[in-house]
Amino acid sequence: MPVGKDEIKQVILVRADLDMGKGKLGAQIAHGSVSSYLEAEMFDKKIAKEWIDAGQKKIVLKVPDQESLEKLYKAFKFKKVPCALINDAGLTQLPPGTTTVLGIGPWRSGEIDIFTDKLKLL
């Protein structure tokens, strides 16, 4: 199994400024994970399968606000790293369209860490 910058992992970035309950937070993280996986599978089926076979490593990190999340989304899109920005439907705790999380990968750690290595665990 590859390690270091060639390791395959998924990272989910969560907005720290939103007051989501535990259930809402879990659901948003799950949306980010699944949506980002589907993006990665379209980019490179081999990487997506390798991630599944290796145990689906995920890391959940926090970002301070929506602006930070959107900047990172644009950076990953520019670098052609598969990712998915999640906007809440607004049926429970948040207003419709609230951007909650960014799912990144599964992809090579080295290409993810460039933008996330200074972020803290949720």
Range of the domain at 109: 4-121
- How many distinct structural domains can be found in the chain? 1
pLDDT in tens, the chain (122 residues): 566 778 999 999 999 999 899 999 999 999 999 999 999 999 999 999 999 999 999 999 999 999 999 999 999 999 999 999 999 988 888 989 999 999 999 999 999 999 999 999 99
Question: Is the peptide bond preceding residue 106 cis, with omega within 30 degrees of 0?
Answer: yes
Q: What is the CATH number of the domain that holds 100?
A: 3.40.1490.10
Query: What is this structure's pTM?
Result: 0.94
The rounded distance, in Å, linking the Cα atoms of 34 and 105 is 10
φ, ψ of residue 40 to 5 degrees: the values are -65, -40
